[in-house]
Amino acid sequence: MDLFSTLSEAINLRSFSNLWYWIMLAVVWSSTTHWVLGVPYDMVVRAASQGGEAEADLNDIVRVNVNRILYISQMSGLWIVGFGTFFLTLLGLTGFVYGVQLSQSVFLVAFPMFIVGFLSLRTARRLRRDGPTGKALHKILQRHRLVVQGIGVVSVFITALWGMYQNLNYMIPDHIIRPLG
Structure confidence at residue 6 (pLDDT): 67
Structure confidence at residue 173 (pLDDT): 61
Give pLDDT tens digits for 75-126. 999 999 999 999 999 999 999 999 889 999 999 999 999 999 999 999 999 9
Confidence grade of residue 135 (pLDDT, cut at 50, 70, 90): very high
Q: Between 67 and 170, where is the model more confident? A: 67
Calpha distance 3→25 (Å, rounded): 30
Structure confidence at residue 112 (pLDDT): 98
Give the lowest-confidence range in 16-20, 38-42, 74-78, 128-132. 16-20
| DSSP string over 111-169 | HHHHHHHHHHHHHHHHHHHH---THHHHHHHHHHHHHHHHHHHHHHHHHHHHHHHHHHH
Question: Any idea where the domains of the chain sit in the sequence?
Answer: 41-169
Calpha distance 30→65 (Å, rounded): 20
Q: What is the mean pLDDT of the chain?
A: 90
Region 132-153: mean pLDDT is: 96
Calpha distance 108→47 (Å, rounded): 34
Confidence grade of residue 150 (pLDDT, cut at 50, 70, 90): very high
> pLDDT over 90 for what percent of the chain?
75
DSSP lists the bridge partners of residue 39 as: 36
What Cα–Cα distance (Å) separates residue 149 from each residue in 34, 76, 126, 181? 9, 27, 20, 48
Which residue, among 125, 159, 170, has the nearest Cα to 144 in the 3D structure? 125
Calpha distance 137→58 (Å, rounded): 9
pLDDT at 10 over 80: no
